[in-house]
Amino acid sequence: MRKNDIKHILKALFDEPLSSIDLLVNREKEIDSLNMVCSLQPAGVYGVCGETGVGKTTVLNFVKPDEGERIYLKLTEKESKEAIIADMLYKLAVEVKKSKTTELLKIAKQVIDFVVEERSETSSFGTAGGVFVTGNLSKSTTRTKKFNIYQAYELFDEFLEALLKKYNKVVLLIDELDKEKKEEVLVILDSLKTVFGKDGLVVILSLPFAIYREYVRDRLRWNESGNLENILKDTFFIEPLDDKQIQQMISKRLMAYPDYFDGDALYEIARYSDGNPRDALWISQQIVQSNLDNERITGQIARETIKKIVKRYFENSWELTDLQKKVLRIVADHQGSRSAIVKELEKRNVKRQTAYTYINRLKEAGLIIERDEKLRVSGKIFYMISL
Ligand SMILES: Nc1ncnc2c1ncn2[C@@H]1O[C@H](COP(=O)(O)OP(=O)(O)OP(=O)(O)O)[C@@H](O)[C@H]1O
Ligand SMILES: [Mg+2]
């Protein structure tokens, strides 16, 4: 293949959250529900959950309220609750400043100055459970300063009030909170409850999966003293795509090269990805890079390449026992319900209880996946154990 074509193909398969609808596959339902919340609900904090790479940021990019102001914040600071809240405040101020709305410029600037000042004087706050931090400013002076979280809340509150006064309705999308630990996120959400509880303010956050699970249990009253429903009005789970949708996603991106991957190659890419669009893009790029001389990628080429790559990347990360391998192979060959797989294992002299335990553990480790009540091995494992 010509170098220029390869470049184009790799660019088309580049992993980046989408913002144009032409390449979007599925997700109408999720986007519609979130847009409905933004347009119809008076206020509240909402969560978006899903595995990494499944398309949370992509979905958030299409959330647009029919009135009011939409503000998207991507968090990057991670080391403590204080750092994360400071980051939210700072990023919000930067966005508002960009919009050049005169009446908000003063407070936006004040917020930026506050965060910069506090952050630079508490350069390592959040370490060792401490809010008190000592930093050597010069050889002769040592200063201790506390990050003023109360002032931060106050400023946050004032800032949001000012925004609401100007726009009536504000939709605040806060991305990347799902990369934090569940406990930390809960503490943050709890501490911002009052600040976020404002008429006209809808906050949508990307949250870790553990919080989604807990939220559902709280709503069902399965937890003894759950109070997540107090903090979150609702949560939305972004499911993996199905195999057809993954194939469609790759085809759409390669519109200019419709014959490059044949149907069987697309099938293999989808099988590997387990419905995760990021994994599908990654393996597709890997296949391109490993076969620079090929004009077309057939199913066989794709399969051989995926096997090689899986071997190189994952072989040493899992040390499987013989019994684990046996269970995985049966799941791979039969792809049935849990009880059907257990029956197959019993036929091969694995005790019933042992079979259930193994299946559960392999599922927890992500090596077995359950979709539509059927078990299958994950894409990576499938290619690792297939000869
Ligand atoms: N519905 C979709 N249609 C087409 N492509 C998608 C879709 N969803 C996600 N993608 C692609 O998959 C990749 C991952 O998506 P995205 O970055 O939105 O995931 P994420 O869940 O936000 O990931 P992270 O956990 O890293 O934040 C991106 O390259 C994006 O373009
Ligand atoms: Mg994201």
> Residue 358 maps to which CATH number?
1.10.10.10
118 Cα distance to chain centroid: 30
Least confident of 28-32, 226-230, 295-299, 316-320: 226-230
Number of domains making up the chain: 3
User: pLDDT band at 61, cuts 50/70/90?
Assistant: very high
- Ligand of minimum distance to the alpha carbon of 55: 1
Q: What is the largest CA-CA distance in the chain?
A: 77
Do residues 191 and 300 share a domain? Answer: no
Do residues 197 and 293 share a domain? Answer: no
Q: Point out the domain boundary residue: 292, 316, 340.
A: 316
Q: Give the residue among 211, 95, 184, 78 at the shortest CA–CA distance from 86.
A: 78
Q: Is residue 129 part of a domain?
A: no
Do residues 231 and 327 share a domain? Answer: no
**Phi, psi for 27 (deg, rounded to 5):** 75, 5
Query: How far apart, in whole angstroms, are the C-alpha atoms of residue 96 and residue 108?
Result: 7
% of the chain exceeding 70 in pLDDT: 91
Do residues 312 and 322 share a domain? Answer: no
To test the pocket of ligand 1, the residue of 278, 282, 283 to mutate (highest count of ligand atoms within 8 Å of its CB) is: 278
Do residues 284 and 305 share a domain? Answer: yes
Could you tell me the distance, in angstroms and rounded to a whole number, from the CA of residue 379 to the centre of ligand 1? 18
Q: Point out the domain boundary residue: 211, 237, 263.
A: 237
Residues within a 6 A CB radius of ligand 1? 15-18, 23-27, 50, 52-58, 249, 277-278, 281
User: Residue 123 above 60 pLDDT?
Assistant: no
Which residue, by CA, sits nearest to atom 14 of ligand 1? 53
Q: Is residue 206 part of a domain?
A: yes
β-strand partners of 300: none
255's tokens: 């519109």
Do residues 99 and 191 share a domain? Answer: yes
- Atom index in ligand 1 nearest the CA of residue 280 equals 12
- Ligand of minimum distance to the alpha carbon of 209: 1
CATH number at residue 163: 3.40.50.300
Do residues 232 and 352 share a domain? Answer: no
Do residues 59 and 154 share a domain? Answer: yes
Query: How far apart, in whole angstroms, are the C-alpha atoms of residue 73 and residue 175?
Result: 6
**In 3-state terms, what secondary structure has residue 5?**
helix
Q: Is residue 135 part of a domain?
A: no
Least confident of 84-93, 309-318, 362-371: 309-318
CATH number at residue 286: 1.10.8
Query: How far apart, in whole angstroms, are the C-alpha atoms of residue 66 and residue 192?
Result: 26
Q: Is residue 25 part of a domain?
A: yes
Query: How far apart, in whole angstroms, are the C-alpha atoms of residue 272 and residue 302?
Result: 10
β-strand partners of 103: none
Q: Point out the domain boundary residue: 237, 253, 286.
A: 237
Do residues 357 and 249 share a domain? Answer: no
User: Residue 48 above 80 pLDDT?
Assistant: yes
- Ligand of minimum distance to the alpha carbon of 179: 1
User: pLDDT band at 209, cuts 50/70/90?
Assistant: confident
- Residue ranges with CB less than 5 Å from ion ligand 2: 56-57
- Atom index in ligand 1 nearest the CA of residue 14 equals 29
Query: How far apart, in whole angstroms, are the C-alpha atoms of residue 53 and residue 68?
Result: 29
Asked whether the beta carbons of 240 and 51 are under 8 A apart, the reply is yes
Predicted local distance difference test score (pLDDT) of residue 361:
95
Could you tell me the distance, in angstroms and rounded to a whole number, from the CA of residue 16 to the centre of ligand 1? 7
User: Residue 179 above 80 pLDDT?
Assistant: yes
Predicted local distance difference test score (pLDDT) of residue 284:
98
Q: How far is CA 208 from CA 12, 78, 96, in A?
A: 29, 14, 27
Q: Which domain holds residue 100?
A: 21-119+149-237
Asked whether the beta carbons of 55 and 273 are under 8 A apart, the reply is no
User: Residue 60 above 50 pLDDT?
Assistant: yes
Q: Is residue 142 part of a domain?
A: no
